[in-house]
Amino acid sequence: MTYHAAVRTVAPDGSDDVREVPVAGADDVDELLSLLSGEEVYTATVHEGEDDPALDVQIHESWGYLLYSGDELLAYSVGDPESPALSDVSEAQFPKGSGVPLETLRTALVEFVTSGGGAPGSVGWQDALTAHEG
């Protein structure tokens, strides 16, 4: 099964551009993470089809951020309490403390694309509807 990452980049003229990248296993995840580490790339949505579970992924500084969207769950990753919120630089509005180490991000992405699209068990999850409360 091959998933696709819709990778959002900033085009030279400043407009958004989206390109599809196939993601089927660990090597593809490594390529995706390398791409996401670039300055002109800021987010990717990994999914098999439009109506299937999706994983929004973003790298900011030394942190990886995840938002899982599936029938049973809409949740942010539970990360390091010191990781910053990305409310100003992300459409996903990742809250403070949702950033995980990059190796954990890699593990979760590999798990997602090799296990049928379920919420990766390698990270904890916090309900996205209540994560910004408090």
Give the model confidence (pLDDT) of 56-101 as tens digits: 999 988 999 999 999 889 999 999 999 999 877 677 789 999 999 9
Q: Dump pLDDT digits (tens) for 6-53.
A: 998 877 777 788 889 999 999 999 999 999 988 777 789 999 988 899
**Crossing angle between the packed helical segments 26-36 and 102-114, to the nearest 10 degrees:** 130
Strands (E), 11-129: 16-23, 41-47, 54-60, 63-69, 74-78, 99-101, 124-127
Q: What is the DSSP letter of 25?
A: S
> The pTM is what?
0.91
Q: Which helix (H) or strand (E) holds 5?
A: strand 3-10
